[in-house]
Structure 1
Amino acid sequence: MPSLGVQPLCTEQYGSRGAQYYLPSPDGCLSCVGDEPGRVGWRSLREIFMSVFLPQGYPESVSQDYLRYQIWDTVQAFASSITGALATQAVLKGVGVGDHTSTVTAATVTWILKDGTGMLGRILFAWMKGSKLDCDAKQWRLFADGLNDLAIFMEILAPAFPACFTLIVCISGFFKCIVGVAGGATRAALTMHQARRDNMADVSAKDGSQETLVNLAGLLVSLLLIPLVADRLQLTYALYSLFTALHLYANYRAVRAVCMETLNRARLRLALHHFLCQGWVPTPTHVNPQEPLLPAEFQQACKGNSRSYLIALNRKAGTVAVALARGTNSVDTIQACAHALLLEALLCQTLPLGAVEGEMLQELQRQLRGAPDRETWAVLTETHQLLDRFFPQFLSGLVSAGWVTDRNLLGAEEWRLDWTPKDKKVL
């Protein structure tokens, strides 16, 4: 606070970016010293830019990873805008723009087929994968951008194969609509993570403003590049390769910058393995950089078995089958998934004599790998007992480390099971 000479009666703060102090004056009124809250956002071009393109209350109103993510997201959007312009030029050339022998009808039919195929792809992808996009938002975001680059490459190549032009652009449109679904859904999931004051609409709107500004810059650069690449295929391919490499790298850095506190399968797996080996639960900032970003290795069913779940193991198939009980809450689901991950670790990994139940884990691993199929249930019972002993400590460690446990991204489907107690007859 500046040296005022008089003790202020009150102080008014505009987030972390400015303050004003109200002082008593001889005439009985209040005098104001410092920035005026209503105008603090307009003091300079920097403040104007922040007010237009950043959520209100930044940086307190968003997650700590917001700025790093948005910087790399801006870079990838610019690169994608340039390659998209190259693809648009190629498609327009392919449908006959500038060719006096082409007809409007043929071009219109090609465009309608392209859009129609894309609409079909949008519906099918949303049906097949829509429920999984929240759980692995980072992986699906990378998938969407990689598929988008492939679709653009197909459009750039399409004019070189006139006999197959319509088929190629239809497949490209199919891919691009999948990109639209996956990209839009994962963007919503990331926006939910970034919004820390129930300000999803503001964060989303400002993200749209940032993207519009970047696309405008991309259009201006494209106006300079398009005349240079006309009828110069080698230069077109070189520019595509350059900006695609930048696009993929920026996307990788963007999703690596995201540090999510909710538990999905990969993050829970890493946290549990670390807890079993080291005896303490890692923080989200420790686990997120280790999360695999390629579609993945752990695609088995993950839930649990006790009062709130039933579990079965098929060692030959390498799968864990889990049924959640009706009324299961988020903590129950985390425990169920932790049990499944524990079984996976016992079957597939070498567990050291760590700080948590090390000798017991070694013994269970030996029994599970060597036991006949008919004795598997006995070993499963022992894993139940082991999990009951250490899960409360693990859960407490998750909360202390900053993980969110009242909701999760573990991908449990909506099916729930009611099992009848043995002493209850079923009519």
Structure 2
Amino acid sequence: MADATNLNRPLCCEQFGSGAARGCFAAADGSLQWEAWGWRWWDFSGAFTVKPQRLAGGAGGALGTASPPLSSLIAVFLPQGFPDSVSPDYLPYQLWDSVQAFASSLSGSLATHAVLLGIGVGNAKASVSAATATWLVKDSTGMLGRIIFAWWKGSKLDCNAKQWRLFADILNDVAMFLEIMAPIYPIFFTITICTSNLAKCIVSVAGGATRAALTMHQARRNNMADVSAKDSSQETLVNLAGLLVSLLMLPLVSDCPGVFDLQQLVEGHQEPYLLHWDLSQNQVQVVLSQMAGPETILRAATHGLVLEALQGDGPLPRGLEELRNQVRAGPEKDNWVIVRDTHQVLDKLFPKFLKGLQDAGWKTEKHQLEVDEWRATWLLSTEKKVL
């Protein structure tokens, strides 16, 4: 049994790197009592007792030690000797930097999806040579911007590291926003993605240079390489998590009915009115342009009546009868195909219908339809171009 006078005197101590040391005491029953680990960031307590054991030959049991449960994660993602080997602001900075990297990963997935959509992926009418030329112009613009920015502001990145780091993060968000918006205005697509890539190249220069300065500040034991390597590991883990979330998010966004409806409305901008056919509520909603006159209003009303007739059982011309069969056989998402096809049918039928009204004595210069005063303006070109 251990002497009571020596119970408060440690038999030995252990320490990892510059971490807090803990002692080993002899308990009254002869067992070894280890102090708790004192980890600065997690308040971990891991005190344990080693009971004496009898082995063959009369030898005593070997002394054991306990490792904290987070030691594996610390070794993989944090610099050796953490937290004493880095600056006190290391952990808060890395936490917020990881949040920013995760959000940027999600935004980057949306931006990549938008750029591929705008450049013609999935469009049979897209030109491979035009897409290649657009991509080369985009990359060339970014390379020139990278060189010019490094020459223009390179000497100022050391003295204002935090300012330029914040500037890089904001500019990166602006660049991804431009890429997401690029497919909405096809005639400006090339200019938009060139501008966004120019901004991203500036971000790479400003962010990379200031990151080196911040790493120098965080490394307290001349361990810049270790701090930089562990920062890369943390960023890779965050990007991997962002990738997994993006795989779940992109189908929800791309297949969202609201987004699909908006895309189809924009694609139908060549008409002086926009038409939305909602089968679930049995409604046809019409948006008129500023240039819509009485003839356009009559055509929009006729268009709505044609769509209503497609849901009925009455006799129809041959072209509309085929569309009726498509309405009954296809899913609701294909209704936009029917709307597009009815535009083409009306291009042939409506002039005859209008002339028949005029020949019958109807005055088509005016109408008594209930139409509100709201008018819309769409500034897109009359032909959707994919560069």
TM range (shorter): 0.5 to 0.7
- Aligned to 2:65, which of 31, 35, 38? 35
Shift of 1:166: 1.0
Report the Cα distance in structure 1 between the residues aligned to 2:25 and 2:60, rounded to whole angstroms.
Answer: 6
Please say which of residues 109-118 and 226-235 is displaced more in the overlay: 226-235
2:141 corresponds to which letter in structure 1? T
- Aligned to 2:19, which of 16, 21, 31? 16
Query: How many residue pairs align between the two structures?
Result: 228
Give the aligned partner of residue 165 of structure 2: 141
**Runs of 5+ consecutive residues of structure 1 not aligned to the other structure:** 237-427
Structure 1 pair 233–85 and aligned structure 2 pair: CA distance change class (3 A): farther
Give the aligned partner of residue 135 of structure 2: 111
Report the Cα distance in structure 2 between the residues aligned to 1:194 and 1:51, rounded to whole angstroms.
Answer: 17
Give the aligned partner of residue 328 of structure 2: none
Q: Indicate if the aligned counterparts of 2:118 and 2:182 stay in contact, CA closer than 8 A.
A: yes
Give the aligned partner of residue 156 of structure 2: 132
Report the Cα distance in structure 2 between the residues aligned to 1:135 and 1:235, rounded to whole angstroms.
Answer: 45
Deviations 1:58-80 (A, max 9, x none): 00000001111111111111111
Structure 1 pair 31–10 and aligned structure 2 pair: CA distance change class (3 A): farther
Report the Cα distance in structure 2 between the residues aligned to 1:153 and 1:10, rounded to whole angstroms.
Answer: 60
Give the aligned partner of residue 167 of structure 1: 191
Q: Are 2:112 and 1:91 equivalent residues in the alignment?
A: no
Shift of 1:191: 0.7
Two-structure CA RMSD over aligned residues (Å): 3.2
Give the aligned partner of residue 368 of structure 2: none
Q: Indicate if the aligned counterparts of 1:21 and 1:34 stay in contact, CA closer than 8 A.
A: no
Report the Cα distance in structure 2 between the residues aligned to 1:90 and 1:125, rounded to whole angstroms.
Answer: 27
Report the Cα distance in structure 1 between the residues aligned to 2:22 and 2:131, rounded to whole angstroms.
Answer: 61
Q: Indicate if the aligned counterparts of 1:20 and 1:33 stay in contact, CA closer than 8 A.
A: no
Structure 1 pair 157–231 and aligned structure 2 pair: CA distance change class (3 A): farther
Structure 1 pair 49–107 and aligned structure 2 pair: CA distance change class (3 A): same
Structure 1 pair 109–232 and aligned structure 2 pair: CA distance change class (3 A): farther
Report the Cα distance in structure 2 between the residues aligned to 1:113 and 1:22, rounded to whole angstroms.
Answer: 71
1:199 corresponds to which letter in structure 2? N
Give the aligned partner of residue 78 of structure 1: 102
Q: Indicate if the aligned counterparts of 1:19 and 1:34 stay in contact, CA closer than 8 A.
A: no
Structure 1 pair 30–120 and aligned structure 2 pair: CA distance change class (3 A): farther
Q: Are 2:199 and 1:196 equivalent residues in the alignment?
A: no
Q: Indicate if the aligned counterparts of 2:10 and 2:23 stay in contact, CA closer than 8 A.
A: no
Q: Indicate if the aligned counterparts of 1:18 and 1:35 stay in contact, CA closer than 8 A.
A: no
Q: Indicate if the aligned counterparts of 2:9 and 2:25 stay in contact, CA closer than 8 A.
A: no
2:107 corresponds to which letter in structure 1? T
Q: Indicate if the aligned counterparts of 1:20 and 1:35 stay in contact, CA closer than 8 A.
A: no
TM-score w.r.t. structure 2 length? 0.53
Structure 1 pair 13–32 and aligned structure 2 pair: CA distance change class (3 A): farther
Shift of 1:35: 2.4
1:107 corresponds to which letter in structure 2? A
Q: Indicate if the aligned counterparts of 2:157 and 2:209 stay in contact, CA closer than 8 A.
A: yes
2:65 corresponds to which letter in structure 1? D
Deviations 1:90-142 (A, max 9, x none): 00001100101112222222111111111111111110111111111111011
Report the Cα distance in structure 2 between the residues aligned to 1:60 and 1:156, rounded to whole angstroms.
Answer: 43
Give the aligned partner of residue 347 of structure 1: none
Give the aligned partner of residue 212 of structure 1: 236
2:77 corresponds to which letter in structure 1? F
Structure 1 pair 234–138 and aligned structure 2 pair: CA distance change class (3 A): farther
Give the aligned partner of residue 63 of structure 1: 87
Q: Indicate if the aligned counterparts of 1:13 and 1:20 stay in contact, CA closer than 8 A.
A: no
**Runs of 5+ consecutive residues of structure 2 not aligned to the other structure:** 27-51, 261-387
Larger Rg belongs to: 2
- Aligned to 1:186, which of 193, 210, 214? 210
Report the Cα distance in structure 1 between the residues aligned to 2:236 and 2:21, rounded to whole angstroms.
Answer: 29
Report the Cα distance in structure 1 between the residues aligned to 2:196 and 2:165, rounded to whole angstroms.
Answer: 18
Shift of 1:51: 1.1
SS at match of 1:55: coil
2:172 corresponds to which letter in structure 1? N
Give the aligned partner of residue 352 of structure 2: none
Structure 1 pair 103–58 and aligned structure 2 pair: CA distance change class (3 A): same
1:308-347 alignment, distance < 5 Å: none
Deviations 1:180-213 (A, max 9, x none): 0000111111111111000111011101100110
